[in-house]
Amino acid sequence: MPAPPRPVTDAIRAFAGDCTVETDDRIHRGRVLVLVKPDRTVLVHDADGYQPVAWLTRADAVTVESDGPGFGLTAHLDDRTLRVTADRIRRSVYPVTEAGVPVGTSPDSGGPLVRTGGAVVDVVDDTRYPLVAGASVVDGTCPDCGLPRMRVDRGATFEVCIDRDCEPLDDAVRERFDRAWTCPDCGDDLRIIRRRGRLLAGCDAYPDCETAFTVPAGVVVDDCPCGLPVFETATGRRCLDGTCDRRSE
């Protein structure tokens, strides 16, 4: 399920000119480039080296004032201040997005899709497709919508569309494991459900029996002496019941 695009305010503002740059402990003067990033980080670059001559990371506030041809920029963070002034300035605004690993082309916008953090993002319109934990994007596209597919371990290995509205992972897990296991407390079936954002194997007798287990990111490889399945996960083998210590009996 794609997340709504973020407001188009993600832009780097650039100011270039003969500037006076004042911090709490020093003053610089020269022809510099001032960058204001979307997170309110301010960087002042000159012609020497890669490190800025002045900066303020994630300022609490950045104010830009213009008075005729004059220019002033003030950034505050706690008790620190960065001030840039100039008689004349050149300014530009450059829309930016997150940068990530290319994983395909958007069938809607025609723009590149990149994986960054826990999502696949359309670079053109910033539509975001959140990925489930532990998912990997695989080659090939969904035959229904043209988006990439992801591989996910949830009891078994599933390949589904990254758009959860197109091909829900929950449905695939439910088809494979719904009623496959028995509640250890009351003997009723365990149903595959989603509750409070978590995929669970929950007792069918709910609310009379409130037993429920989070389905871990792994594949079923064995049966536990307690009667529940054992999963192979990235951190080792574990019972569906994360508190069970009988899996090696």
In terms of domains, do 181 and 116 share one?
A: no
Task: Please say which residue of 73, 95, 117 terminates a domain.
Answer: 95
The CATH number assigned to the domain holding 86 equals 2.70.180.20
Per the structure, the count of domains in the chain is: 3
Whether 71 and 138 map to the same domain: the answer is no
pLDDT in tens, 183-225: 999 999 999 999 888 899 999 999 999 999 999 999 999 999 9
Residue 8 has pLDDT above 50, yes or no: no
> Parallel, antiparallel, or unpaired: how do β-strands 80-86 and 27-36 relate?
unpaired
Task: Tell me the H-state helices in 81-222.
Answer: 169-177
* Any domain includes 44: yes
For residue 246, being part of any structural domain is answered with: no
In a domain, 5, yes or no: no
C-alpha distances out from residue 118 to 155, 219, 248, Å: 21, 21, 34
24-58 exposure pattern, b = at least 16 Cβ within 10 A, e = fewer: eeeeeeeebbbbbbeebbbbbbbeeeeebbbbbee
Tokens encoding 245: 């210590």
Distances, alpha carbon 181 to alpha carbons 89, 190, 205, 207, 215, in Å: 69, 6, 13, 18, 12
Are 78 and 15 members of one domain? yes
pLDDT tens-digit series, residues 18-66: 999 999 999 999 999 999 999 999 999 999 878 999 999 999 999 998 7
Domain match, 33 and 79 both:
yes
Rounded alpha-carbon distances, angstroms, from residue 84 to 15, 21, 93: 10, 5, 18
Per-residue model confidence (pLDDT) at position 59: 96
Domain with 72 in it: 11-95
Establish if 53 belongs to a structural domain: yes
Residues 71 and 50 in one domain: yes
pLDDT tens, position by position, 129-174? 999 888 999 998 999 999 999 999 999 999 999 998 999 999 999 9
Q: Which of 138, 166, 194 is the last residue of a domain?
A: 166
2 occurs within a structural domain? no
pTM of the predicted structure, to 2 decimals: 0.70
